[in-house]
A = this chain, B = another copy of it.
Amino acid sequence: MDALDILVKHDIKPSLQRLAVMEYMLTHFTHPTVDEIYSSLSPSIPTLSKTTIYNTLSLFEEQGVVLYLGIDKKNARFDGNTSHHAHFRCKNCGAIVDIFNQKQEEIVLEGHPELVIDDVQTYYTGYCKNCKK
């Protein structure tokens, strides 16, 4: 499924800018920041504004086509892979690693039937291969 399909399926009007951002997210599973996306797309779309990247990612997140990651204290990061997985961040070098082999959590939390859970994010922190002593 390509960028256009995903946008259409989620009732997002596929403008040039939105398609470019979606396409970027589908080819860069690097948990990019707004700046990284902007810097990468700006040369090919010279009129592009950083505000558009913010607007677009905000819209994408509301529609569930990207995931907002709060794992990084400094910047928001985004993930084009919306399937269930966790993330690891190295405290030394900042690398972010996908963690896939996790069992799916219960959607309804035991002991909290009053809460409606829409999303779960799990963030591990520690040291990666290169940074552990």
Contact = CB atoms under 8 A, between A and B. Distances in A.
Interface of A: 70-71, 73, 76, 88, 91, 97, 99-101, 109-112, 114-129, 132
11 contacts: A70-B73, A91-B118, A99-B109, A101-B110, A114-B129, A115-B129, A116-B127, A117-B124, A119-B126, A120-B122, A121-B123
Nearest to A72: B70
A126 B122 contact: no
Contacts of A120: 122-125
Contacts of A101: 109-111
Nearest to A129: B114
A123 to B, nearest CB: 5
B117 A88 contact: yes
A91 to B, nearest CB: 7
A129 B99 CA distance: 31
A99, A115, A118, A125 — which one has the most chain B CB atoms within 10 A of its CB?
Answer: A115
A79 B124 CA distance: 17
Nearest to A88: B115
